[in-house]
Structure 1
Amino acid sequence: MVSGHLRIQNGIYQCIISYNDYNGKRKTKSISTGLVAKGNKKRAEEMLSELRRTFVPPKPERGENEFREDMLFSDFIPLWLSAIEKTVKPTTYSSYWNMAMKKILPYFEVKKLKLNEVKASHIQNFCIHELKSIGANSVKHEYVLLHKMFKYAYRMDLVVNNPVEKVDPPKIMPFEGKPFTADELQKLLDATKDDRMGLVILVTAMYGLRRSEVLGLRWRAIDFQNNLLTINHTLTEVNVKGTTELHAADSTKNKSSRRTLPLSESVKVRLLALKAQQEENRKLCGNAYNKDWLDYVFVNEVGDIIRPSYIESVFPRILKKCGLEHRRFHDLRHTCATLMNQQKVPLKQVQVYLGHSDIQTTSNIYTHLSWDDKTETLEAMEKAVKLPEFDGTKSAWDSVKMPKTS
């Protein structure tokens, strides 16, 4: 994104252009308009507007944008990002770019280390530095990214080994979400039944959808005649090079995530009512209605798509208003799995329903057992194993002859 402003220097208007270079770094460039300041503000503003529209970042000089053994590691990082950008999903690249440019590059830039000079001790020191301010899980992600960078450098014959392999990754604690109980979910659904977010929450909880799946739900994926709902499209938000963009894709997290589910009558009635309301909104708003998202189920009154960032900001406020403990929006998905478990739905059926790639992922969610589940499990164990009869606790002193006291 090119931005800019005017500045007067020696009585002449200067256009100050701000842009991202080919490596994603933010730079500025001053271009003289040749116009004296007095009486030329409007013309200078027009020139600035035209410059912003047509400006093309200068290409790097020959050799500046090439991999070399003796290049600085801080120079290698943006080149590596450019090299792998088209080989990964936009959401993955967004994650890589933010970690690399905001965390890894600033740390190593001041070290002035060449790519082939980076040792295991440097990687270890980086991890120790990061652990002072962020959690082990986040540092583990950065560690993995560093490993990918040096693996690429090794394949390109830029380094003789991968120094990251000599460093043990940070030990992480598995994260456990906190699903809603049936009563809590009922309270949440009752409180939001007339809210814009109400149907989003209901569909997410009933079908155990990921946030990207529920926001990517389109009318064409709903077969009202045969009562089918297909998950085959996602909507995510990616932040790359300082710019946040929406990314819509006809793809899901994995092959198993692409699935067709039955459309319940209760959900069908609500979706049809929403569809009718959207058609009415479109008539009322006329040309002001946003037609970019016409096929999407979850849009606001003027046709704007409900963004992932909106979910992140409004969901905690909804929970607080309902008097419920803070949870992630993703915990609605865990709630679906947990409630199905309590209803004795077989594990394999839950795996297919939620779109998990392997049954182990589904099984991990079942760690969220209710007290009744735990009690039932204990009773099953007691039935399976016949315990010996209990006739009281015997003391070790019973077999010891104590000296008589006079």
Structure 2
Amino acid sequence: MRYLIFFWHWFSYLADQFEEAAQKVSTEAQARRVLNDVHERLHGSSISTATVRNYGLQWVSRKKGEVAPQTHASYEQATNHFIKFLGDHADDDMEFIAPHTIARWRDENAAKASATTANNKLKILRVFFTSAWRDDVISGNPAAKVSVLKTPGSIRRPFTASELTSLLRKAEGEWLGMILFRIYAGQRLKDIANLTWANVDVERAEIKFTTSKTRRHQVIPLHAAVLRYLKQNDGRGEFAAPLSV
């Protein structure tokens, strides 16, 4: 009977706390603070939380082993910029970050750079908050509620045959090699620039390398024009030497 009386008084106390809280709460963030206060009164400690700053640093460090180096650099830059934008609020519980705050950060990026840059950073922040949600750190993704900005339309066209002929006629040295590989191998300029003689098999007329962005292993046959260029710039005695010499 004593236990029943004890629990009755205990639940009555909790009911009084929630009733008092309900009269003061006008936002979700305030509700969480009230619940945290109740938890602290009951258990002597606050509800464990993750701040944007702490989780951001952990997330960026974890991503280093999961994505390509340039992708990781973009993640790190966007996350650090968002933390700086939040100021002291970067040390708040991640649950307190509202969509309108992220929208202001998006707009600031657009004003300082471009809508495209702002959208790219917003997409990174969506990945960031999605990871927090999957880690059970937050109950939802506030960045997913923020729309991307409209960007001016652009149309890309390929080079014409006459333009390519003009480029090849004017280019010399390493630029001739870069253009030939771009035309006939169809790879990113960064990957072409990183090719060395160790990637070349002249006898089999092919190159082998791993792409920097997707880490995909590629084996690409070489066109006769590329082979002629390589034979004119034969540096196979130094396997670490770049192809575009």
TM-score (norm: length of structure 2): 0.69
Shift, 1:144, TM fit: 1.3
Relative to structure 1, is the Cα distance of residues 211 and 161 closer, same or farther in structure 2, using a 3 angstrom cutoff? same
Q: Partners in 1 of 2:56 and 2:116 — Cα distance? A: 22
Residue 265 (1) aligns with residue 224 (2): yes
Q: State the Cα deviation string for residues 270-292 of structure 1 (Å, max 9, x = none).
A: 2012115x75xxxxxxxxxxx7x
Distance 1:88 1:253 in 2: 9
For structure 1, list consecutive stretches of 5 or more residues without a partner in the other structure: 1-67, 237-251, 280-290, 300-406
- What is the SS of the residue equivalent to 1:260? strand
Q: Secondary structure at the match of 2:64?
A: helix
Q: Following TM superposition, where does structure 1 have runs of at least 4 consecutive aligned residues deviating by more than 6 angstroms? A: none
The reply on whether 1:191 has 2:136 as its aligned counterpart is: no
Q: Aligned runs of 1:81-92 on 2, under 5 Å? A: 81-92=60-71
Report the counterpart of residue 253 of structure 1 in structure 2.
214
Listed one character per residue, the Cα deviations across residues 309-362 of structure 1 (whole Å, up to 9, x for unaligned) are xxxxxxxxxxxxxxxxxxxxxxxxxxxxxxxxxxxxxxxxxxxxxxxxxxxxxx
**DSSP 3-state at the match of 2:207:** strand
1:214 paired residue among 184, 192, 197:
192
Equivalent residues, number = 198
Which one has the bigger strand percentage? 1
Q: Deviations over 1:169-213 (max 9, x none)?
A: 2234565445332222222211123x3322222222233221133
- Deviation of residue 96 (structure 1)? 0.9
**8 Å contact from structure 1 (residues 74, 109) kept in 2:** no
Matched residue, 1:100: 79
Q: Which residue of 2 aligns with 1:160?
A: 139
Q: 1:201 to 1:223 in 2, by over 3 A?
A: same
Residues in 2 aligned to 1:189 and 1:74: alpha-carbon distance in whole angstroms: 51
Which residue identity lines up with residue 142 of structure 1 in the other structure?
K
Q: Please, what is the CA RMSD of the aligned residues?
A: 2.7
Unaligned 5+ residue runs, structure 2?
A: 1-46
Per-residue deviation, 1:266? 2.8
- How many Å apart are 1:123 and its aligned residue? 1.4
Offset at residue 219 of structure 1 (A): 2.8
- Determine the structure 1 residue equivalent to 2:126: 147
Aligned-residue offset at 1:81: 0.6
The alpha-carbon deviation at position 168 of structure 1 amounts to: 1.9
CA 1:98–1:273 in structure 2 vs 1: closer, same or farther (change >3 Å)?
Answer: same
Letter in 2 for 1:201: I
Is 2:99–2:142's contact at 8 Å kept on the other side of the alignment?
A: yes
Residue 135 (1) aligns with residue 114 (2)? yes
Partner of 1:298: 244
CA distance in 1, matches of 2:58, 2:64: 10
Higher helix proportion: 2
C-alpha distance in 1, partners of 2:86/2:155?
A: 33
The aligned residue for residue 103 of structure 2 is 124
Report if the CA contact (8 A) 2:49-2:93 is conserved: yes
CA 1:115–1:135 in 2, change beyond 3 Å: closer, same or farther? same
Q: CA deviation at 1:128?
A: 2.0
- Cα offset, 1:231, TM superposition: 4.2
How big is the shift at 1:73? 1.7
- Equivalent position of 1:399 in the other structure: none
SS for the counterpart of 1:275 is: coil
Output the CA distance in 2 between the equivalents of 1:268 and 1:196: 15
| Greater length-normalized contact order (CA 8 Å, ≥ 6 residues apart) | 2
Q: Check the 8 A contact 1:222/1:230 in 2, yes or no.
A: yes
